[in-house]
Chain A
Amino acid sequence: MKQNTFYILAGIVGLIEVGAFWLSVQYLTPLLISVVFIAGIVLLYGAWRMITDRQVDERASLINQKAGMATFMVFWVIFFATSLGSAVIGLGAPPLPHFPRPRVQGPGVTNNTIRPLGNGPVLPNESRALPGDGPGMPDAAFLVPDDGLVRLGHFGYLQLALLFLMFFLYVGFRLYYARKYGEWETDEEQN
């Protein structure tokens, strides 16, 4: 496989990852993006080993190692600090609230138990209305999680920020060490 073919493959995998991320958010299935991400990375690692015209010499390896190590040294401190903050929130916060279904009487509800409203015949004292539709029923706002759970959801944004930070740290250090070890040096032999 040519190196350029690998880059095209990497771009396609990246698009699939973005799509999987979007689907995960839409359907609230975190496992989807986790599995797709790992599968994508394994695929790219495999493809990377199949490149025939790859030119990685000791200087390029040194640049990669230095950039990776510098990224790790900065990132682990930030990650550790953030994780400690999260641990404080986790240990100090009250237990997560739970949301019991409201015990209501009304259409579709008998003996404080919600009956499934299937396609079967409608009994004389039953209707197709959903619980909460009738007068005196709790409205949908009752079922919205409270502020604590919403703030917990914001933790995802923090993790996203950390991911971007790791990426930009690596790119920054990569550029720094590439420049340091003469990546863009030119001379009279330069075409």
Chain B
Amino acid sequence: MHDLTQEALANELGVTRQTILAIEKGKYDPSLELAFKIARYFGVSINEVFIYGETP
């Protein structure tokens, strides 16, 4: 949709590509600041990107 690579998104947000990948795979929960940055980058609200769920 955005024709965006993980590398490009990572550079935009000031994190490593591995962090973007870890978020995508559910291995890492981003900080509130990073979550807001991601939401703002895509122009959506934060709860459209992340859903709160109890971790097992």
Task: Give chain A's interface residues, CB within 8 Å of chain B.
Answer: 55, 57-60, 62, 180-183, 185-187, 189
Contact = CB atoms under 8 A, between A and B. Distances in A.
Contact of A185 (B5, B15, B27, B31): B27
A59 B28 contact: yes
Interface string B1-18: 000011100000011111
Interface residues of B, number: 18
Interface of B: 5-7, 14-19, 21-22, 24-25, 27-28, 30-31, 34
Q: Which of A55, A59, A185, A189 has the most CB of B within 10 A?
A: A59
A189 B19 contact: no
A183 B18 contact: yes
A186 B17 CA distance: 11
Contact of A57 (B6, B14, B27): B14
A66 to B, nearest CB: 12
Contact of B18 (A62, A180, A182): A182
Given A58-B30, A58-B31, A58-B34, A185 B25 contact: yes
